[in-house]
Protein backbone atom coordinates (compact mmCIF):
# COMPACT_ATOMS: atom_id res chain seq x y z
CA UNK A 1 0.00 0.00 0.00
CA UNK A 2 2.86 2.35 0.84
CA UNK A 3 4.52 1.66 -2.49
CA UNK A 4 1.27 2.40 -4.27
CA UNK A 5 0.95 5.70 -2.47
CA UNK A 6 4.53 6.59 -3.34
CA UNK A 7 3.75 5.96 -6.98
CA UNK A 8 0.65 8.14 -7.00
CA UNK A 9 2.57 10.88 -5.17
CA UNK A 10 5.28 10.64 -7.80
CA UNK A 11 2.78 10.73 -10.64
CA UNK A 12 1.10 13.69 -9.02
CA UNK A 13 4.42 15.51 -8.76
CA UNK A 14 5.32 14.70 -12.36
CA UNK A 15 1.96 15.97 -13.45
CA UNK A 16 2.35 19.20 -11.50
CA UNK A 17 5.79 19.76 -12.94
CA UNK A 18 4.52 19.22 -16.49
CA UNK A 19 1.63 21.63 -15.88
CA UNK A 20 4.03 24.19 -14.49
CA UNK A 21 6.31 24.04 -17.53
CA UNK A 22 3.29 24.33 -19.84
CA UNK A 23 1.94 27.31 -17.89
CA UNK A 24 5.30 29.07 -17.71
CA UNK A 25 5.82 28.60 -21.45
CA UNK A 26 2.38 29.95 -22.16
CA UNK A 27 2.99 32.99 -19.94
CA UNK A 28 6.23 33.75 -21.79
CA UNK A 29 4.81 33.06 -25.20
CA UNK A 30 2.08 35.69 -24.94
CA UNK A 31 4.36 38.76 -24.64
CA UNK A 32 6.77 37.21 -27.13
CA UNK A 33 3.98 36.82 -29.70
CA UNK A 34 3.01 40.41 -29.14
CA UNK A 35 6.60 41.67 -29.62
CA UNK A 36 6.93 39.58 -32.80
CA UNK A 37 3.66 41.04 -34.09
CA UNK A 38 4.90 44.61 -33.57
CA UNK A 39 8.20 43.87 -35.29
CA UNK A 40 6.39 42.41 -38.29
CA UNK A 41 4.13 45.43 -38.49
CA UNK A 42 7.09 47.79 -38.30
CA UNK A 43 8.86 45.87 -41.03
CA UNK A 44 5.76 45.84 -43.22
CA UNK A 45 2.67 48.05 -43.19
CA UNK A 46 4.04 50.64 -40.72
CA UNK A 47 7.51 50.83 -42.27
CA UNK A 48 7.34 54.56 -42.94
CA UNK A 49 4.91 55.53 -40.19
CA UNK A 50 6.92 57.61 -37.68
CA UNK A 51 4.09 58.01 -35.19
CA UNK A 52 3.30 54.29 -35.18
CA UNK A 53 6.95 53.45 -34.65
CA UNK A 54 7.17 55.40 -31.39
CA UNK A 55 3.94 53.91 -30.11
CA UNK A 56 4.85 50.34 -31.04
CA UNK A 57 8.34 50.59 -29.58
CA UNK A 58 6.76 51.69 -26.30
CA UNK A 59 4.48 48.66 -26.28
CA UNK A 60 7.33 46.33 -27.19
CA UNK A 61 9.31 47.66 -24.24
CA UNK A 62 6.34 47.02 -21.94
CA UNK A 63 6.09 43.43 -23.13
CA UNK A 64 9.83 42.94 -22.77
CA UNK A 65 9.58 44.20 -19.18
CA UNK A 66 6.78 41.74 -18.55
CA UNK A 67 8.96 38.87 -19.79
CA UNK A 68 11.75 40.13 -17.57
CA UNK A 69 9.50 40.13 -14.47
CA UNK A 70 8.31 36.62 -15.27
CA UNK A 71 11.83 35.28 -15.64
CA UNK A 72 12.95 37.02 -12.42
CA UNK A 73 10.02 35.49 -10.53
CA UNK A 74 10.55 32.03 -12.05
CA UNK A 75 14.20 32.17 -10.97
CA UNK A 76 13.26 33.35 -7.45
CA UNK A 77 10.77 30.52 -7.14
CA UNK A 78 13.25 27.91 -8.29
CA UNK A 79 15.92 29.24 -5.91
CA UNK A 80 13.55 29.10 -2.96
CA UNK A 81 12.32 25.65 -3.93
CA UNK A 82 15.86 24.33 -4.09
CA UNK A 83 16.46 25.51 -0.52
CA UNK A 84 13.12 24.41 0.85
CA UNK A 85 14.55 21.55 2.92
CA UNK A 86 17.41 23.62 4.30
CA UNK A 87 16.15 25.26 7.46
CA UNK A 88 17.60 28.74 8.05
CA UNK A 89 19.83 29.16 11.10
CA UNK A 90 20.40 32.87 11.78
CA UNK A 91 18.32 34.95 14.18
CA UNK A 92 16.65 37.97 12.59
CA UNK A 93 14.22 40.60 13.84
CA UNK A 94 10.77 40.55 12.24
CA UNK A 95 10.04 44.06 13.56
CA UNK A 96 13.09 45.42 11.79
CA UNK A 97 12.16 43.51 8.63
CA UNK A 98 8.63 44.95 8.73
CA UNK A 99 9.97 48.51 9.07
CA UNK A 100 12.63 48.04 6.43
CA UNK A 101 10.20 46.37 3.99
CA UNK A 102 7.83 49.24 4.47
CA UNK A 103 10.61 51.76 3.79
CA UNK A 104 11.53 49.94 0.59
CA UNK A 105 7.95 50.29 -0.60
CA UNK A 106 7.71 54.01 0.20
CA UNK A 107 7.99 55.27 -3.35
CA UNK A 108 5.46 52.72 -4.62
CA UNK A 109 3.04 53.66 -1.86
CA UNK A 110 3.50 57.37 -2.62
CA UNK A 111 2.72 56.67 -6.27
CA UNK A 112 -0.48 54.90 -5.20
CA UNK A 113 -1.23 57.63 -2.64
CA UNK A 114 -1.60 54.94 -0.05
CA UNK A 115 -0.26 55.32 3.49
CA UNK A 116 1.54 52.34 5.07
CA UNK A 117 1.48 52.21 8.88
CA UNK A 118 3.68 49.88 10.91
CA UNK A 119 2.89 48.79 14.45
CA UNK A 120 5.72 46.61 15.73
CA UNK A 121 7.30 45.91 19.14
CA UNK A 122 10.93 46.87 19.78
CA UNK A 123 12.08 43.39 18.80
CA UNK A 124 10.50 40.23 17.43
CA UNK A 125 13.30 37.65 17.07
CA UNK A 126 12.78 34.64 14.80
CA UNK A 127 15.08 32.13 13.14
CA UNK A 128 15.15 33.01 9.49
CA UNK A 129 16.77 34.34 6.36
CA UNK A 130 16.50 38.13 6.30
CA UNK A 131 16.44 38.54 2.52
CA UNK A 132 13.73 35.94 2.10
CA UNK A 133 11.52 37.28 4.88
CA UNK A 134 11.99 40.75 3.44
CA UNK A 135 10.78 39.42 0.11
CA UNK A 136 7.67 37.99 1.81
CA UNK A 137 6.87 41.36 3.42
CA UNK A 138 7.50 43.20 0.17
CA UNK A 139 5.33 40.85 -1.88
CA UNK A 140 2.46 41.19 0.58
CA UNK A 141 2.72 45.00 0.65
CA UNK A 142 2.97 45.07 -3.15
CA UNK A 143 -0.23 43.03 -3.45
CA UNK A 144 -2.02 45.24 -0.94
CA UNK A 145 -1.04 48.25 -3.06
CA UNK A 146 -1.97 46.53 -6.33
CA UNK A 147 -5.28 44.93 -5.40
CA UNK A 148 -6.33 46.36 -2.06
CA UNK A 149 -6.32 50.03 -2.90
CA UNK A 150 -8.50 52.28 -0.76
CA UNK A 151 -8.15 55.62 0.96
CA UNK A 152 -7.64 53.85 4.29
CA UNK A 153 -4.05 52.82 3.67
CA UNK A 154 -2.35 49.60 4.73
CA UNK A 155 -1.61 48.34 8.25
CA UNK A 156 1.37 46.17 9.07
CA UNK A 157 1.28 44.67 12.54
CA UNK A 158 3.95 42.59 14.24
CA UNK A 159 2.90 40.75 17.37
CA UNK A 160 4.78 38.65 19.92
CA UNK A 161 2.93 36.03 21.90
CA UNK A 162 5.46 35.36 24.66
CA UNK A 163 3.40 32.63 26.32
CA UNK A 164 3.08 30.57 23.17
CA UNK A 165 6.46 31.71 21.88
CA UNK A 166 5.03 32.74 18.52
CA UNK A 167 5.68 35.80 16.41
CA UNK A 168 3.22 37.03 13.81
CA UNK A 169 3.23 39.64 11.09
CA UNK A 170 0.15 40.74 9.25
CA UNK A 171 -0.45 42.96 6.25
CA UNK A 172 -3.95 44.33 6.11
CA UNK A 173 -5.63 46.32 3.38
CA UNK A 174 -9.10 47.86 3.17
CA UNK A 175 -9.75 47.25 -0.52
CA UNK A 176 -12.48 45.26 -2.12
CA UNK A 177 -11.38 41.92 -0.71
CA UNK A 178 -11.23 38.42 -2.14
CA UNK A 179 -14.19 36.05 -2.57
CA UNK A 180 -13.98 32.99 -0.33
CA UNK A 181 -13.74 30.42 -3.10
CA UNK A 182 -10.42 31.89 -4.24
CA UNK A 183 -8.69 31.90 -0.86
CA UNK A 184 -7.41 28.30 -0.80
CA UNK A 185 -5.97 28.63 -4.29
CA UNK A 186 -4.20 32.00 -4.09
CA UNK A 187 -0.75 30.55 -3.41
CA UNK A 188 -0.89 28.25 -6.47
CA UNK A 189 1.49 29.21 -9.23
CA UNK A 190 -0.16 31.44 -11.82
CA UNK A 191 -3.48 31.47 -9.97
CA UNK A 192 -5.11 34.89 -10.20
CA UNK A 193 -8.58 36.11 -9.30
CA UNK A 194 -8.57 38.24 -12.42
CA UNK A 195 -5.95 37.60 -15.04
CA UNK A 196 -6.74 40.91 -16.70
CA UNK A 197 -6.26 42.92 -13.50
CA UNK A 198 -3.08 41.10 -12.49
CA UNK A 199 -1.61 41.65 -15.92
CA UNK A 200 -2.49 45.32 -16.09
CA UNK A 201 -0.89 45.82 -12.65
CA UNK A 202 2.33 44.13 -13.73
CA UNK A 203 1.64 40.88 -11.82
CA UNK A 204 3.08 37.51 -12.80
CA UNK A 205 0.85 35.24 -10.71
CA UNK A 206 3.92 33.94 -8.87
CA UNK A 207 4.22 36.33 -5.93
CA UNK A 208 2.21 34.32 -3.41
CA UNK A 209 3.70 31.02 -4.61
CA UNK A 210 7.14 32.46 -3.77
CA UNK A 211 5.79 33.62 -0.38
CA UNK A 212 4.41 30.17 0.36
CA UNK A 213 7.69 28.42 -0.42
CA UNK A 214 9.74 30.83 1.67
CA UNK A 215 7.37 30.32 4.60
CA UNK A 216 7.48 26.54 4.17
CA UNK A 217 11.24 26.68 4.52
CA UNK A 218 10.85 28.75 7.70
CA UNK A 219 8.29 26.45 9.27
CA UNK A 220 5.91 29.41 9.19
CA UNK A 221 2.16 29.45 8.53
CA UNK A 222 0.28 31.72 6.17
CA UNK A 223 -3.30 32.63 6.95
CA UNK A 224 -5.43 34.61 4.51
CA UNK A 225 -8.59 36.24 5.74
CA UNK A 226 -10.92 38.27 3.60
CA UNK A 227 -14.50 39.27 3.05
CA UNK A 228 -15.80 40.97 -0.06
CA UNK A 229 -15.95 44.69 0.53
CA UNK A 230 -13.84 44.50 3.68
CA UNK A 231 -10.27 44.15 2.46
CA UNK A 232 -7.85 41.31 3.07
CA UNK A 233 -5.42 40.33 5.82
CA UNK A 234 -2.40 38.13 5.15
CA UNK A 235 -0.83 36.87 8.39
CA UNK A 236 2.36 34.90 8.80
CA UNK A 237 3.12 33.17 12.11
CA UNK A 238 6.30 31.42 13.19
CA UNK A 239 8.17 30.31 16.30
CA UNK A 240 9.92 33.02 18.31
CA UNK A 241 13.67 32.72 18.82
CA UNK A 242 15.94 33.49 21.75
CA UNK A 243 15.06 35.57 24.77
CA UNK A 244 11.84 37.53 24.51
CA UNK A 245 12.36 40.80 26.33
CA UNK A 246 9.72 42.20 28.65
CA UNK A 247 9.11 45.01 26.16
CA UNK A 248 8.18 42.45 23.55
CA UNK A 249 5.56 40.79 25.72
Report in angstroms how near the CB of residue 183 gets to ligand ADP at its nearest: 9
- Angle, alpha carbons 83-99-122 (nearest 5°): 100
Residues 6+ apart with CB under 8 A from 53: 42, 46
Quote the CA–CA distance of 51 and 71 in Å, as a whole number.
31
Residue among 27, 94, 97, 192 that touches ligand ADP (CB under 6 A):
192
Kindly state the smallest distance separating residue 198's Cβ from ligand ADP, in Å.
Answer: 3
**CA torsion through residues 169, 180, 204, 28, sign:** positive
Candidate residues 60, 128, 132, 147; the one interacting with ligand ADP per rule CB under 6 A: 147
In the complex with ligand ADP, which residue's Cβ is closer, 124 or 154?
154
Shortest separation between residue 170's beta carbon and ligand ADP, angstroms: 12
Q: Nearest distance from residue 61's CB to ligand ADP, in Å? A: 20
What does DSSP assign to residue 119?
E
DSSP output for 122-150: S--EEES-HHHHHHHHHHHHHHHHHH---
Binding mask 116-145 for ligand ADP (x = CB under 6 A): ---------------------------xx-
Exposed, middle or buried, 95 (CB in 10 Å: 0-12/13-18/19+)? buried
**22 or 228: CB nearest ligand ADP:** 228
Q: Contact residues for ligand ADP (CB under 6 A)?
A: 143-144, 146-148, 173, 175, 178, 186, 192-194, 198, 203-209, 232
Amino acid sequence: AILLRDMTDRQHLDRMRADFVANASHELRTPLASITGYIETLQGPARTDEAARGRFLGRMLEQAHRMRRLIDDLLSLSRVEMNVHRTPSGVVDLSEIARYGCEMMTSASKAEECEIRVDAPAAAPVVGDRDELLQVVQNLIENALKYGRSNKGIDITVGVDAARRRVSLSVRDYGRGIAEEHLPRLTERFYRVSEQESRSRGGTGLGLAIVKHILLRHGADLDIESRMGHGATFTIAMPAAGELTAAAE
